[in-house]
Structure 1
């Protein structure tokens, strides 16, 4: 018995385009029902189930945006993509914000159409398979913040749209990006992290775009998968333009090539500040911002999670699998702490507490907080002792080493975040750690 073909509903009022796309889809071994307008399409959808919908944005009795809203309401499990004129990207982005899976620009590139369908059917298959949810501590609890994040995560499952994740230091933005990748059609393809703070301006082009015998560019590594970008505003303006062209065209021409390299990448941007602020400051191209600012997540800081505080603590302790619980006094001590480095800091504190606790119940003395007053006292102790007979360079190195170790401790030894805290570059902190013997 032959396997059932996936079924596609196609909506376009131009008979020639409708015929061409129908023939193309049939050659791809798909069953196709073509419709000339919204009324005909809605009638067909009521009569039989479809695996995918492809609709033009301009229709005689409405538009594709109306079709997207209709399908997301009545057929939420069916991916829908829109076809748009190249100059109408704004409408296509609006469609993705409404829940469209993706969009195609006219004239339709058949490679892009194949890629889109491949992801759509992989998404359908993945949806039908039993899923094991990744534990993400920020989602613990039943407060409004956790609920909002859960709703957005559920909505973004059926989309290829770019995502922007905003959050304070330590809010586990990259962990959320990983979950978005894992629940998408790209889960079996690479998840690649790129932080521009780790790459000086002069190296950016080679790192991002250039392949060689000894190195594969970040873009090539992320092909068919997801590229998670941090500190996008540190990318030079000319390379921001090239990144935009890559997103638009799904290809780029390397300096040593004459033919474009086809790439299919989903972009997720992580940032501590809203991208609109970076545009206002002249650090981010407005056209790039417009293209990637489609689906937004804002991760709340820990200080705003009072209702879910105990649940978040419990999720970490459960994950450690030590069988230890938190005593009421220890919980009270934690609740008074401000957690400047949020969930990452909490994880670090609780992990140390489970290691130090000699009983099943964690006590206040087992909770070691990152006390800035203590660090300040140590700094004053060095100053009080004075330079003595030490050389000035040695004396300054002691202070420098202490400040770097303090920043690393606060950020759970995340060098990128520690460098940001110290207001130095990633390259500088890496050099100083080696020089000062910090391991």
Structure 2
């Protein structure tokens, strides 16, 4: 059975011997099993572990199995099977009425328990597949929106995406910031044979160096890590050159050996995933500069897709901008402003260093200005606040200035917060406080 077809389960039982017994039974049957001793631990773990089913004891210290059942959002949570040595008919009936998938008495009959769990997992996979199809269709339409255009570069890119999606091999995406690398990575995943499995993005430029190993490899018993989470699906390594060199060496071993050992563990875990990586830097130059291991690059660049910058797609500018105007017109419930000759001239005169992302943001600013009965394309392109948006108080003006300055620094240093703090001449703690106070979203800026 492949990693993609393996069912996973989260066991909740305060009896250690019972947890060990259940893990042994399920692993022998080909399941991937994790266990915790308290129901209160489930809420933090299940979104990351994404189990196909939860098996929980009823009577436990603290939160009981029935209380755990009541706490779960049954629209998104996996099915819950309750197991108890104190089973009675009223409790079982109540549990089923409250949304439990099934109720099993201890001592359990192994074959019957495995059958119940398998049926629960199959039902969950079917429900997820239906929901994933809806999301997949939405993402594909999102790809179509981003890749609108008639230039040869964008038409060729669409064809390459369709060709490479079916080939389960590493792909390196190269392109400037804002060209849509993550969206293309998602399309390669959604159109490929691993579409039903997880797509796990990891922005290497946004993770502090001292947290890389924890984030990627996980910690035994508390944090699964991105590599295990991606097993069976696709791991997307964005800005791979920002990954610390020691971690690059370990990542290379994982790709080659197809197994990982979480921090604090001595037992390797088998993982299989497609690797899609991305960089807005010249990867060959990054190797020469000592930022990227050459042997890792050779593992990642089996196939290379280059996303064209917007300045090479000037024939698509008006079409794209008009599309975004219509999109934000619907969002803000106004009729999109018409494009005049001066507006088209402003679009064509700008170099668009932020590419499609910058164009989309400019369209949103234009629509927001239109709500006030003002604005133009030229004004929307400018990064400085419009005159009519200048705050009335000194405190508000300082906040606007700080927000703009910190945002620019985060983009310039690709989310490396130590470098951002150093460039701004402030401490890391002060920077974090200002980001929270100003309501900045670091991920949205990158």
1:333 corresponds to which residue?
Answer: 346
1:88 corresponds to which residue?
Answer: none
What is the CA distance between 1:273 and its match in structure 2? 1.0
Q: 8 Å contact 2:164–2:188 — kept in the other structure?
A: yes
- Cα separation, partners in 2 of 1:430 and 1:334, compared to 1, 3 Å: farther
Whether 2:443 is the aligned partner of 1:435: answer no
Q: 8 Å contact 2:214–2:263 — kept in the other structure?
A: no
1:63-102 residue pairs with structure 2 within 5 A?
none
1:202 corresponds to which residue?
Answer: 210
Deviations 1:194-248 (Å, cap 9, x if unpaired)?
1222223222222211234442211122121211112322333332122112112
Equivalent residue pairs, number: 287
Deviations 1:178-208 (Å, cap 9, x if unpaired)?
2212111222222222122222322222221
Q: Determine the C-alpha separation between the residues in 2 that align with 1:373 and 1:254.
A: 48
Unaligned runs of 5+ in 2: 1-131, 422-426, 440-446
2:159 corresponds to which residue?
Answer: 151
Whether 2:369 is the aligned partner of 1:370: answer no
- Higher mean C-alpha displacement, 322-331 vs 166-175: 322-331
1:233 corresponds to which residue?
Answer: 241
Q: Determine the C-alpha separation between the residues in 2 that align with 1:421 and 1:263.
A: 29
Whether 2:247 is the aligned partner of 1:249: answer no
Q: Determine the C-alpha separation between the residues in 1 that align with 2:386 and 2:325.
A: 27
Q: Determine the C-alpha separation between the residues in 1 that align with 2:161 and 2:429.
A: 35
* Residue aligned with 2:438, SS: coil
1:381 corresponds to which residue?
Answer: none
TM score, norm. by length of structure 1 = 0.57
Whether 2:296 is the aligned partner of 1:288: answer yes
1:259 corresponds to which residue?
Answer: 267
- Cα separation, partners in 2 of 1:140 and 1:286, compared to 1, 3 Å: same
Q: Determine the C-alpha separation between the residues in 2 that align with 1:255 and 1:327.
A: 56
TM score, norm. by length of structure 2 = 0.56
Q: Determine the C-alpha separation between the residues in 2 that align with 1:318 and 1:402.
A: 30
Deviations 1:24-54 (Å, cap 9, x if unpaired)?
xxxxxxxxxxxxxxxxxxxxxxxxxxxxxxx
Q: What's the Cα RMSD here?
A: 3.7
1:360-399 residue pairs with structure 2 within 5 A?
364=376, 367-371=379-383
Q: 8 Å contact 2:199–2:233 — kept in the other structure?
A: yes
1:17 corresponds to which residue?
Answer: none
